[in-house]
Structure 1
Amino acid sequence: MKLIILDRDGVINHDSDAYIKSLDEWIPIPGSIDAIARLSKAGWTVAVATNQSGIARGYYDLATLEAMHARLRQLVAEQGGELGLIVHCPHGPDDGCDCRKPRPGMLHQIAAHYGVALHGVWFVGDSSGDLEAALAVDCQPVLVKTGKGGRTLGKPLPDGILIFDDLAAVADQLTLED
């Protein structure tokens, strides 16, 4: 199985320091939906692991989050692709869970769901927490410059990080290799 795992906010859709609280605020980054569809059509299983502390903070509810993910799935399907498992962490940063990135709990959930090892699986994110989660489970950390990626590039980065302009560039690379 060819598996790729994506962060959501800042990788697939525009991010906001004020949180993405409604379906109207959930706006795909240009090229991201097509990128997911192209990966899917090239035989990749595309999963998503996303921190959603806005639920714990009371900014939106689970039904709103599910509506965002239903819209994401619909848009990918309209491009002829399929989106795999989406896992989310609803906890706040001080809740002590093991799923909130930079902890790798969501990545373990995805691995268990698909029955695969995470060694070398690309995990695409835009934050230091995404990169740390990837490294914790021996995934290949991939940083995109969208979302918080520009800020993350300004920090010291661990060795071995792959850097791309956006998710479309990641898809270009992976579909070129096929």
Structure 2
Amino acid sequence: MSKPVNVYSISQVSQVLNESLPGVLARLGYTETFELVDQKLLIGYSIALVAAVSFFIDKRFVHDDIVHYQQVLVGAYFVLSVIFWYFKKYVEKSVVYSGKTKNGNATIKISTAYEEGKPQYSVMFTDKDKKRVESKLEINTVFSAEGYLQTDLFLEWVKQQLATLDNKKQ
């Protein structure tokens, strides 16, 4: 059993629920995918590579010979930084889990949020067809009075939300 959480701190509760999602969804037959993380890493490494090339040519060559190259590299750095910002703001959003079933028939993305001072955990389930189910989980339904997460209750709640999402498809 995990250690208890302060159920009056929605940020701690949200963190515990986010961390338990992969285990719960694994029990439901989902495998976590890391496509969004891989894409973010690719953009980040590209930014670092442009910066490294800029530094290298600045140290190796005379300033007057490389001004045009530096301008291109600064432009590339700017464009990649804007792409990275856009990716984090609009593509990745607040996605905490991305996965698919073992047979690959269903994919899912789960975004979470919370509002400080409200004992609700907002969860958005999105499937590959962009159908969505937004639900609010009352904290006291999955946590005991002592602050322990009751994973079986959380599993049942997630299962209900996935069933609602499946019913929306039909």
**TM-score by shorter chain over 0.5:** no
Structure number with higher helix proportion: 2
Greater CA radius of gyration, 1 or 2?
2
TM-score by length of 2: 0.29
TM-score scaled to structure 1, two decimals? Answer: 0.28
